[in-house]
Each structure stands twice: as C-alpha cells, then as structure tokens.
Amino acid sequence: MTAYRRNILTWICIAAVALPVMLAALYVSNWFVLIFFSIVPIGGFFLNKITCPNCGTSVTYQGTLVGFRITGGFIRKKCQECGWDLDKNLSN
C-alpha cells in the first residue's frame, strides 16, 4: 500500500473512532471528552509513522518555522522534502 493511501486510511480510521466518541461526549457523559482528546495525539503518532518511501520524511511534514518542524494533517500526493509521488511505491 502506498504512503498516500495509508495516509487516507489512517484519517478515515481516526474519524471513525473520534466521531462516535464525540457524540458520546455530547449525549452520554462528559468523561468521553477525555477519550476524545486522547485520540488526537494517538492519531498524530500514527500519522507521523507514515513516511515517504524515497527519503523517509513523514508525509505530514509541512516545513520549518523558526527552526521547528511543522507537521499537519493535509493529505498530499507529493513529498514536501524530495517531491516524490506518494501514490507510487519505490519499486515502481
């Protein structure tokens, strides 16, 4: 599976978990808010593990700002670092 497709699949999984938890926080108990806010860093952890097959940069990498690496949730088809097409494997 390509990095682009793994990125999309990860976002779908995060949304599939976060939406019911958010609805449970609204209608069942406020304690579900804690679970909802724990999903955010867990999802970020899994998104940072998806890397470009060419250079190894995380697909969520957006660049640097004042020396800090900025990562975001934009689904990109090209690597920000090397320009590799993330919708194809290294062997293709």
- pLDDT tens, position by position, 40-51: 888 888 888 888
pLDDT mean over 2-29: 88
pLDDT value of residue 16 = 92
Alpha-carbon gap, residue 80 to 55, rounded angstroms: 10
Q: Which residues pair with 65 in a beta bridge?
A: 68
On average, the pLDDT of the chain sits at: 85
- pLDDT tens, position by position, 22-42: 899 888 888 888 888 888 888
pLDDT mean over 75-79: 85
pTM of the model: 0.76
Q: Which pair of structure tokens corresponds to residue 46?
A: 């899994």
Alpha-carbon gap, residue 77 to 47, rounded angstroms: 15
Helix (H, G, I), strand (E, B) or coil at 51: strand
